[in-house]
Structure 1
């Protein structure tokens, strides 16, 4: 493909500035690269020219970073930078030859440096945001289905670019940077992420803020939840809402219509170990709730309740049940916890006092609501086809305790617990937006 002919130096007798000639030529290239045949026949010299324009225009951004008063003079430079990124973005779509040519010119390093300068400016000009977004789109496309490009993007972008972009107020910037992270991560790089947990936590926060964006969702479900080492390292550092978000997505995966695969089982057994051990440790927090003056540890209370929910769902999965049935101290701790809060609810005034009717559709925001029913559900699951646990419940006087929690009446002689509503937390489902780059690891930003 021949390079487009630059516009004439004069239009209607007026000298045309060089930046305008460059802008028109770039726009022509961007339009040409919408066609696959043009992308496949593009000479390497074109990309060198685009890179030269990009480098030249970036000098104005560097000056504005040193002198904020220059921000208002960035209009022409931002136009050129935006069109450079659009041109490069389009050139990379489903064309590994162009990806390789552009990468070998060290364009990725220039792009990342420029994006970090954008973040340093910290202004909300729409023209700056557009250039910012297009730069991220280019990085996402050059890395798509190209391991060599993914490696170079990772070297230049990790960790500064992700720390700068995942918490950006602009949701498109968050989405595009999440796309780059998702595309670039592999098993080895997950280990690097364990040493930079702030990035992993930022992804969870991004999903909280933008549940309609598929990329943070995919990072958590397709990558984080398949790395028990990362989850174990990250879990203690999450605040209450972040922990709730992660556990919600874990429940959603366990209860989804798609069963856990053979590869998923060992991973979720590790998750089960983390959840069970954390629950056993945090039971003491719930025990404090039985006092007349509950502590202000809302994180611990809600976390213990949600951990209980996850254990209920895990023990409903036959692949995970056997492991949890023999988990040291779990059954005993659940029975002890049920006994203490049941007795305390009768003898003193506390948050469990009015929970006389066992219900299975409790609101997670109310720790006491449905807590006892979930304890009983967990005891039942742990005893399923397991004589040792059945005998253990009997030895610990668990049967009278469970029966005492049933609201018995003539019309319902076995109590409310015998007819609970099926318990399923609402599963988070992302709404996919094609403008955010498709629905898979190898998709490109469309032209």
Structure 2
């Protein structure tokens, strides 16, 4: 039989073994095949190599015997060496290799240790250099699995090492931002690195170097910064009870937000939601959404307070009220003012505009969450003259979906069990609805709740 014929026969056998190994029973019956597969792996041409890696992947999927045999036969090192033997591994080969390593790492700390020793940092750099969405997900699975739990702390420190590991993370974020990767393995990995292990500032700064063309073109931020923040925001929003948020991370996010607010041009009205494709605006928006969810996050431990208390001490509410007050009025109020006084009203001429659809809503949402159950914040807003400003947000705005709902929640939280704020709107002894010109202009009135004797905000359009 010719050499090509032998290879063809081998490929047929491998394809059959791969099919058998898809079931638990098949994997148990092929336990003796694993050692032979590893032995043949280094000398395998590209196609048989891919098939053997896929066979290993299947054999290691939840089979404890095969997982231990893989470590005993130096499987992680053999797989890593096979990948490193190629100047640029094909995406299919890299994907299958990572899937095999990931299945082995899932078996426990002993296996994760062996996998990490074999792939960090050279093989991981090679994997991270393959810009393919199909490779990125198993790569993030391996990284997240190896760096998880208590035993993974030292490996996580390796991954955040300035010279050895950080370039790998930067490459992961770079590739993910280019292919718009949004799988959960990536979310968990980046959240673990940036939030739980407080490496956000290190990674964020590493995403932009002095010779980064994207940075110099767009000012302070690039698409990688926006992608990182968007991923962290999505993870916190989707899994608030499964993550931990530190004071340090919260303060870093607020600092980035303040800097972005100084960078964005508020004279150009945004016409799209996040992401807009403009890095500075996306950074502004994603940091605001992170602050919204950080201020709503509650620590699972009754002995530990969430980071919102620490944020409030840095002037968060005062700054957000300033941003909100600098905006032009919501569209409903603008139309009413234009009908009554024309387009020359100062509020219509001089106000900032929303740089993306939903910016005003995000501002109000953060304030609403800060107000919840916090009398100091309620009093601060009153002293800053912000009550009427919040009342003006209880309307429909064409460029800010759900503004009315968040505005009403903010006012509810503002008035709840705070007599001073209630008096600011209405005298408690009045038994008839209170309608001031300012409130009436935005379709609201204050009524006295017959059961509690306290004022409540009512939307007149619902009457």
Give the structure-1-normalised TM-score: 0.63
Q: Choose from 250, 262, 267 the match for 1:284.
A: 262
> 2: CA distance between counterparts of 1:326 and 1:80?
60
Give the match for residue 172 of structure 1. Answer: 134
Shift of 1:323: 1.5
Q: Secondary structure at the match of 1:55?
A: coil
Give the match for residue 380 of structure 2. Answer: 392
Are 2:248 and 1:260 aligned? no
Are 2:98 and 1:151 aligned? no
Are 2:60 and 1:92 aligned? yes
> 1: CA distance between counterparts of 2:183 and 2:392?
47
> 2: CA distance between counterparts of 1:16 and 1:370?
61
Give the match for residue 433 of structure 2. Answer: none
- C-alpha spacing 1:418/1:219, structure 2 compared with 1 (3 Å): farther
Q: Secondary structure at the match of 1:56?
A: coil
- C-alpha spacing 1:160/1:412, structure 2 compared with 1 (3 Å): same
Shift of 1:367: 1.7
Shift of 1:190: 1.5
Confirm or deny: 8 A CA contact 2:392 2:442 kept in the other structure.
no
Q: CA offsets per residue over residues 290-318 of structure 1, 9 Å max, x none?
A: 69xxxxx9544442333223323333445
- C-alpha spacing 1:145/1:413, structure 2 compared with 1 (3 Å): same
Q: Secondary structure at the match of 2:256?
A: helix
Task: Give the 5 Å matches for 1:334-353.
Answer: 334-341=320-327, 346=346, 352-353=351-352
> 2: CA distance between counterparts of 1:368 and 1:33?
51
Give the structure-2-normalised TM-score: 0.62
> 2: CA distance between counterparts of 1:40 and 1:346?
78
- C-alpha spacing 1:200/1:227, structure 2 compared with 1 (3 Å): farther
Shift of 1:276: 2.6
- C-alpha spacing 1:205/1:318, structure 2 compared with 1 (3 Å): same
Q: CA offsets per residue over residues 173-208 of structure 1, 9 Å max, x none?
A: 333333322332232211122222333344444544
- Greater relative contact order (Cα 8 A, min sep 6): structure 1 or 2? 1
> 1: CA distance between counterparts of 2:85 and 2:121?
15
> 1: CA distance between counterparts of 2:368 and 2:172?
36
Q: Secondary structure at the match of 1:229?
A: coil
Are 2:98 and 1:136 aligned? yes
Moved more, 19-28 or 47-56: 19-28
> 2: CA distance between counterparts of 1:411 and 1:397?
18
Q: CA offsets per residue over residues 388-425 of structure 1, 9 Å max, x none?
A: 3333333333345556778868574339x987xxxxxx
Q: Give unpaired runs (5+ residues) of structure 2.
A: 208-220, 269-276, 300-305, 330-344, 396-437, 446-456
Moved more, 148-157 or 305-314: 305-314
Q: Choose from 437, 444, 458 the match for 1:414.
A: 444
Task: Give the 5 Å matches for 1:66-145.
Answer: 77-118=45-86, 120-121=87-88, 130-145=92-107
> 1: CA distance between counterparts of 2:17 and 2:356?
63
Shift of 1:229: 1.4
Shift of 1:342: 5.7
> 2: CA distance between counterparts of 1:117 and 1:409?
72
> 2: CA distance between counterparts of 1:368 and 1:227?
30
> 2: CA distance between counterparts of 1:172 and 1:346?
54
> 2: CA distance between counterparts of 1:397 and 1:171?
50
Q: Choose from 265, 286, 306 the match for 1:306.
A: 286
> 2: CA distance between counterparts of 1:217 and 1:36?
30
> 2: CA distance between counterparts of 1:82 and 1:405?
59
> 2: CA distance between counterparts of 1:32 and 1:377?
54
Give the match for residue 41 of structure 2. Answer: 54
Shift of 1:151: 1.6
Confirm or deny: 8 A CA contact 2:195 2:249 kept in the other structure.
no
Shift of 1:112: 1.0
> 2: CA distance between counterparts of 1:43 and 1:325?
56
> 2: CA distance between counterparts of 1:210 and 1:285?
25
Confirm or deny: 8 A CA contact 2:190 2:232 kept in the other structure.
no
- C-alpha spacing 1:418/1:254, structure 2 compared with 1 (3 Å): farther
> 2: CA distance between counterparts of 1:337 and 1:15?
73
Are 2:249 and 1:274 aligned? no
Are 2:285 and 1:315 aligned? no
- C-alpha spacing 1:203/1:395, structure 2 compared with 1 (3 Å): same
Moved more, 244-253 or 185-194: 244-253
Shift of 1:156: 2.1
> 2: CA distance between counterparts of 1:148 and 1:142?
10
- C-alpha spacing 1:169/1:414, structure 2 compared with 1 (3 Å): same
- C-alpha spacing 1:133/1:346, structure 2 compared with 1 (3 Å): same
Give the match for residue 360 of structure 1. Answer: none
Are 2:179 and 1:193 aligned? no
